[in-house]
């Protein structure tokens, strides 16, 4: 029973981080129909920016998280303006190839700038876990879970309650009609890619201090983010959240009770099962964004 409770807490913490990884990716696909292969590298970028601000420049930890996220937004906007805007009429395969190329450039730039050795980001939280009966969790992990939840909620509110959100959803449903209604589709795309990138960078900024920061940290994360988004349903925000938690719990419980050796395989087995039974993913809503 003690083990079950600990696995539940671990699965929740892991699922929260996975959900955060998934939403940025699903947003960009939902609005722009762009498969963002730079997602994992933007995650690593956010983590490195946090490292740079905290360890090299001595910036306050919380401020560093915000600055790293903003840096991710700026990098995302630049990628959209320089690469994607020119390819708006291009087919999805060409865009995918460009994004794969961009991810390789970003990863190699990180290696060049920071070297291959992984780095630890100092954080102001106690290193000892909070203990409640048989369950323990680091305060830093709870902070990450809380911020992830706040970001998910804030993001949903932005889509549902603001003019920018309406413009994004309108662009998703029908870009031509949205343009006729006065929506500046080009800027919606830039804003969407920038926000999606900022969310990836925020995930990296939050998880960098939990784990370690290295130039290849985005590889597995990028793969998992795709798995989460496919599991939840492409372009679905609730789907990405649900997919994140589903993957987190499956990995945690399968790893804890069945086999740690095949822990990742169970996550992908879940995806195969979901796609076999519900090809549109867990949340196949008609209007997915929001």
Partner 1 sequence: MLNRRSVLLAGLAMPALATRGFAADAIKIGMTQPLTGAVAASGNYVANGAKIATEVLNRAGGVLGRPLELVLEDNKSNPREAVASVEKLVLRDRVPVLIGAWSSTFTLAIMPKLMEYKVPMVVETSSAARITTSGNPYVFRIAPTSEMEAVAFAGLLGKFSPPMRKIDFLSVNNDFGRGAAEKFAASLAARGITVGKTETMTPEATDLAAQLTALKQTDSDTVFVTTGVEQMTLALRQAVEQRLGKRIVTTGGSFPDQLIANPLPAGNESFHILFYAPWFPERAPHPAIAATYTAEWNKKGWEFAGLTEGFRGYDAMLTVVEAIRLAGKPEAEAIRAALWNVKIPGVNGDIAFTKDGPAGQESGQNRPNVSILKLAEGKTSLL
Residues in 32-71 at the binding interface with partner 1, rule: CB under 8 A: none
State the residue for tokens 């987190």: 248
Does 91 interact with partner 1 (rule: CB under 8 A)? no
Query: Which are the contacts of 22, defined by CB distance < 8 A and separation ≥ 6?
Result: 225, 228, 229, 232, 240, 241, 243, 244
Beta strand segments in 78-190, E: 130-132, 135-137
Does 81 interact with partner 1 (rule: CB under 8 A)? no
Identify which of residues 30 and 208 has a Cβ nearer to partner 1 in the complex.
208
Taking the C-alpha atoms of 118, 121, 122 and 126 in order, what is their torsion angle to the nearest 10 degrees?
Answer: -100
Bridge partners (DSSP) of residue 110 are none
Residues in 163-192 at the binding interface with partner 1, rule: CB under 8 A: none
Contacting range for partner 1; rule: CB under 8 A; set: 29-37, 88-96, 207-215, 273-281? 207-215
Contacting range for partner 1; rule: CB under 8 A; set: 148-156, 161-169, 196-204, 255-263? 255-263
As measured in angstroms, the least distance from the Cβ of 40 to partner 1 is 12
Q: In a 3-state reduction of DSSP, which class is residue 88?
A: coil
Contacting range for partner 1; rule: CB under 8 A; set: 3-11, 70-78, 158-166, 233-241? 3-11
Does 7 interact with partner 1 (rule: CB under 8 A)? yes
As measured in angstroms, the least distance from the Cβ of 84 to partner 1 is 28
Q: How many other C-beta atoms are found inside a 10 Å radius of the C-beta of residue 77? A: 17
Q: Decide: residue 161, CB within 10 A, 0-12 exposed, 13-18 middle, 19+ buried.
A: exposed
Integer CA distances (angstroms), 222 to 2, 30, 216, 264, 284, in order: 33, 17, 10, 14, 22
Per-residue DSSP letters for 119-142? BPPP-SS-SSPEEETTEEE-HHHH
Q: Under a CB-based contact definition with an 8 Å cutoff, are residues 205 and 46 in contact?
A: yes
Cα gap 169→235, rounded to integer Å: 11
Site map for partner 1, 211-240, x if CB under 8 A?
Answer: xx-xxxx-xx--------------------
As measured in angstroms, the least distance from the Cβ of 110 to partner 1 is 10
Contacting range for partner 1; rule: CB under 8 A; set: 23-31, 35-43, 254-262, 281-289? 254-262
As measured in angstroms, the least distance from the Cβ of 31 to partner 1 is 30
How many residues sit close enough to partner 1 to count as binding (CB under 8 A)? 42
Identify which of residues 238 and 255 has a Cβ nearer to partner 1 in the complex.
255
Cα gap 156→23, rounded to integer Å: 10
Residues in 112-151 at the binding interface with partner 1, rule: CB under 8 A: 115-120, 122, 126-129, 131, 136-138, 141
The site for partner 1 (CB under 8 A) is made up of 2-3, 6-7, 10, 13-14, 111, 115-120, 122, 126-129, 131, 136-138, 141, 211-212, 214-217, 219-220, 251-256, 260-261, 263-264
């Amino acid at each position: 029973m003690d083990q079950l409770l600990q696995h539940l807490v671990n699965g929740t913490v892991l699922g929260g981080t996975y959900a955060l990884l998934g939403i940025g990716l699903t947003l960009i696909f939902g609005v722009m129909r762009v498969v963002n292969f730079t997602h994992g590298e933007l995650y690593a970028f956010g983590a490195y920016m946090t490292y740079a601000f905290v360890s090299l420049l001595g910036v306050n930890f919380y401020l560093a998280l915000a600055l790293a996220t903003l840096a991710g937004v700026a990098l995302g906007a630049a990628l959209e303006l320089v690469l994607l805007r020119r390819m708006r009429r291009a087919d999805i395969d060409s865009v995918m190839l460009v994004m794969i190329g961009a991810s390789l450039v970003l990863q190699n730039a990180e290696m060049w700038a920071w070297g291959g050795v992984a780095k630890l980001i100092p954080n102001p939280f106690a290193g000892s876990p909070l203990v409640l009966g048989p369950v323990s969790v680091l305060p830093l992990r709870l902070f990450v879970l809380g911020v992830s939840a706040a970001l998910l909620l804030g993001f949903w509110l932005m889509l549902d309650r603001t003019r920018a959100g309406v413009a994004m959803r309108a662009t998703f449903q029908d870009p031509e009609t949205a343009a006729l209604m006065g929506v500046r589709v080009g800027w919606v795309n830039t804003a969407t890619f920038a926000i999606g990138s900022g969310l990836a960078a925020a995930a990296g900024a939050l998880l960098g201090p939990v784990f370690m920061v290295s130039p290849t940290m985005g590889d597995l994360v990028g793969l998992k983010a795709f798995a989460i988004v496919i599991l939840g349903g492409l372009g679905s925000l609730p789907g990405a959240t649900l997919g994140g938690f589903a993957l987190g719990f499956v990995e945690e419980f399968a790893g804890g009770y069945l086999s740690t050796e095949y822990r990742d395989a169970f996550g992908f087995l879940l995806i195969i099962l979901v796609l076999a039974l519900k090809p549109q993913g867990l949340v196949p809503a008609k209007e997915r964004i929001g």
